[in-house]
Amino acid sequence: MFGLPYQGVATFLKSPLDAHRPFGFVGIPYDGSVTFRPGARLAPNAIRRASMMLTDGHHPEFATDPCERVTDLGDIDITQVAQHAALARIEEAVTALGQARPSCRLMMAGGDHLTTLGVLRALRRRFDQPLALIHFDAHCDTWARHFGDDIGHGTFLRNAIEEGVVDPTRTMSLGLRSPVDPVTREWLIGQGGLQMSSRQLMRTEGEALARHVRERIGDAPVYVTFDIDVLDPAHAPGTGTPEIGGITTMKALELLESLRHCNMVGMDVVEVSPPFDNHDVTALAAATLLWTWAAMLPL
């Protein structure tokens, strides 16, 4: 058997299903709260397919083979209709995974950004304290309402802070550049959080970001949420709400790798929309970020 990358079952990194490994890939195929272009519900399987390009050996920056560290735990079975019910289902599923695999760090593939709130709720309970949050995004996601609803993919960060799920003083939103009213734009800063624009982020070296993180977050359990639209549409065209002027994939990897010494308890990549992708370049960017995360962390 030749074992070519495109052969066989399309799991993430061609990893075994439901094995006991240090990292678990979980799909959250939900996009019921998108503002503009739909399709993020299709992202988990697109990211799995794209990850087949990454199965030929060790990561170039780390002496590890993520394919030997990851198991694919499948997708969360979820409704597309009721947002609150979807969040409850995500929280329930992530809680169950944490109980069954207490030493497994979960890497989530959304789905729109509302899905992150369900994950954070589960991890807040698991660690019995508000989490630190590193939030890569073109959008601040601190809107008070989502077109009349109390939750949506643009409210998740505000919801998480108001619920006590994350600690605002240990929250960093990085890569912001979208149109937004001043009250919404400044809300996180008013809660004690830190924001950096896309232009500031492009000028920030990885080690400088690591210093900022150490000073603000310390050893607290930290979750990394990576909205793919933090990347410029030239690097990630397949997303629901693209914004011109984003960071490059090279910069994203540099910044992510600089965080490898943080106490990271989970990560997601969200808002990939395969129907709007170009030759799977966005899905490959998402897969590479998750692959790098699994490669860089100590066991």
Q: Which residues participate in the annotated binding site for Mn(2+)?
A: 113, 137, 139, 141, 227, 229
Strand order in the sheet with 131-136: 70-75, 23-28, 105-110, 264-270, 222-227, 131-136, 166-176, 194-197
Q: Where are the alpha helices (DSSP H) in 18-174?
A: 43-51, 83-100, 115-127, 156-162
- List CB contacts of 8: < 8 A, sequence separation 6 or more: 14
Task: Select from 163, 148, 71, 149 the least CA-distant residue to 116.
Answer: 163
Q: How many helices (H) and strands (E) does the chain have?
A: 9, 8
The number of C-alpha atoms within 13 Å of 258 and in the hemisphere containing its C-beta is: 18
Hey, what are 184's tokens? 């919404």
Q: Is the dihedral of CA 235, 265, 258, 290 positive or negative?
A: negative
Strands (E), the chain: 23-28, 70-75, 105-110, 131-136, 166-176, 194-197, 222-227, 264-270
Per the CB < 8 A criterion, the answer to whether 293 and 261 are in contact is: no
188 near 195, Cβ under 8 Å? yes
**How many Å apart are CA 217 and CA 219, to the nearest integer?**
6
**Distance between CA 174 and CA 5 in Å, rounded?**
34
Annotated binding-site residues read: 113, 137, 139, 141, 227, 229
